[in-house]
A and B are shown apart, each in its own frame.
Chain A
Amino acid sequence: MSDRLDFRDAIARHATLTVNWVSRLSGRGSGTVLGGTVGMKLSPRLFATLARDRSIILVTGTNGKTTTTAMAATGWGGVVTTNATGSNMPAGHVAALASDWSPHVVLEVDEAWMPEVLETTRARVVVLLNLSRDQLDRANEVRQMADRWRQAFEGSSRHTYTVVANANDPMVVYAAQLARDVRWCDVPTQWISDASSCPVCTESIHFDETGWSCNCGFERPKNVTTRLNDHLSIDGIDVELHLSLPGDFNRSNAAMALSALRQLGVDPSGAAERMSKIESVAGRFSVRRWNGHHIRLLLAKNPAGFAAMLSTLDRDASDVWVAINARIADGKDPSWLYDVPFEQLLGHRVFCFGDRRLDLATRLDYAGVDYVVVDDESELEECGEPVALLANYTAFSDWLARTR
């Protein structure tokens, strides 16, 4: 297939692969971003060219992007091109697309880049998982992001595509409701407090068991095609879903990934079977060893992510570890700790790690939760059972690097 590239694009693709290869050899990370950047410099149209004539699913949203992307790729079966963790902007997409010629592609996309990536790649399906507060010091306020998506779907596009959207998140519904082809998914969605004020009129949205609505008429879409409660149904097809990954949020992610695959003709039951074998995604949910400890690594980057992960914790386990940083990739403002329902940890003892362990300890103190600030890690007592470690972005990377 590479004969479809003209000379300039072929050189640019080759440069992308070479730079990534050298950068991996020299140990400077996976290099996906650097190679992609070089490739796009050499040929600005490289991204579009590499994406041409391939069936592409884009996955975006505040939480669950990486897991849902892995679910869609695994569920599709066979060779699927997908981007590496943390490389969810065009340079990472270019690196992924340059690496092989599989006609099946699933790309995780940063929320802010979604409109541009959709147009450039002419993706067939866009999955909108959820939209909540994350890294507000970068001023990507929730409403602004919803507006940006809405404008992208409202405008005319060069190609046709399907939006697979979470009907239980009012911000997502606001963003997607003007798109020409939308498949609404009724999937469990815990975090709605960023949408308590209506995106249309700013009045309060009313939530109940049957859905949500606002006095202005904005309400949960009625024409839902994917439903997940005790069991999953997609376009009227009942699907058995038994995941190895924990939590309702992962069931929601799987349902949306299956819904996306269904739009491309993939049989949901076979895809669900393949998905059920996933035990960890880029280290998330895996049990690893460190200094004689067994640690289950859980990534939680923001209040919605924390709420989801807290709900998976074993009520009987006393000790929980939490690691918080506030570096650039995390957002430099840890104020969000006060939006996390840490009160749910009453009865547990929480060990505080990370650069901002004192911010965490203070938050836990005011929640009335028992805590230990870990300044000297060598003094930690070993315990027999695996302990859950909830960590935000760079803290998670640190722990992934130090554990085996």
Chain B
Amino acid sequence: MTTICVIFPQLLGTYGDAGNGLVLHQRARRRGFETTLVSVEPGDELPDAAIYLLGGGEDGPQRLAADLLRESSLSRRVRDGARVFAVCAGLQILGQTFCIEGNDEYAGLGLIDATTKRGVTRSVGEIMTESQGQRLVGFENHGGQTDLGVGVDSMGRVLVGRGNDGAVDGYHVARIWATYAHGPVLAMNPWLADLILEDLLGSKLEPLSSAADLLYDERCRALAS
């Protein structure tokens, strides 16, 4: 049994982000894999899970989530082999530091060499990135400017929108993926959901055709024009 854990959906779930857990769970089950989908709320111990998902949140909840996660077992679990998929505020929390509520700097988990400053303007709108021939489409809404350390790969090159800094979006290091495309980004990009699942389940997955494929094609076309 593979456990998929959504972390603090009440704090980090502003944009329907918990949908990403649902997508992984459903796409695994439809291929015959046994998965369970759980969520953890503040005050509860993190359950043992193969992957943890972090969503987006408003400033106050983001700071609280970071405080709780710094004292949690998440970092140890990731070092022991667990995977993480993070969007938006979650992306910032996994890094070294982030700035919210004016320019106050807060400590992240330091799992990734990435620092987030406050951007000059808020980035709100559709985003499309490209990485090794694959397009990632979604919607971003954040005020961060994230710089990646040496040796930290981004998730893709920005074609539309802003991402980390206008040039690249997110990061992917070993078992951790993160993007500013918030909300149900895995619903809109079934290939990315499957890429993460293959890594998680350690096996090659059969194609799975669904409405999500049509949605992905439509969004790619809409954003290319």
Contacts and interface: CB of A to CB of B under 8 A. Distances in A.
A337 interface: yes
Nearest to B214: A358
Given A137-B139, A335-B19, A335-B182, 19 more contacts: A136-B15, A141-B14, A197-B60, A202-B11, A202-B63, A204-B10, A332-B125, A332-B126, A333-B15, A333-B183, A335-B15, A338-B18, A338-B183, A358-B215, A361-B214, A362-B210, A366-B22, A366-B23, A368-B26
Mostly, the A contact residues are helix
B201 interface: no
Contact of B211 (A204, A336, A339, A365): A365
Nearest to A360: B211
Contacts of B124: 137-139
The 5 closest A-B pairs by CB, nearest first: A335-B183, A338-B16, A338-B19, A196-B10, A361-B211
A138 B13 CA distance: 17
Interface string B28-60: 000000000000011100000000000000111
A166 B49 CA distance: 40
Interface in B178-225: 182-184, 187-188, 210-212, 214-215, 218
B64 interface: yes
B141 interface: yes
Contacts of A141: 14, 58
Contacts of A150: none
Interface in A374-389: none
A335 B139 contact: yes
5 contacts: A197-B61, A197-B64, A203-B64, A362-B211, A362-B215
B10 A193 contact: yes
Interface string A303-316: 00000000000000
Interface of A: 133, 136-139, 141-143, 193, 196-197, 202-204, 332-333, 335-339, 358-359, 361-368, 371, 373
A358 B211 contact: yes
Contacts of B14: 133, 136, 141
Contacts of B18: 338-339
Contacts of A365: 210-212
Contacts of A204: 10, 41-43
Contacts of A335: 15-17, 19, 139, 182-184
B111 to A, nearest CB: 23
Nearest to B185: A335
Contacts of B41: 204
Contacts of B26: 366, 368
A218 to B, nearest CB: 13
A233 to B, nearest CB: 33
Nearest to A204: B42
A196 B60 CA distance: 12
B215 A337 contact: no
Interface in B147-191: 182-184, 187-188
Contacts of A196: 10
A202 B210 CA distance: 39
B42 A203 contact: yes
Nearest to A361: B211
A339 B160 CA distance: 26
Given A335-B183, A338-B16, A362 B212 contact: yes
B161 to A, nearest CB: 12
Contacts of B11: 197, 202
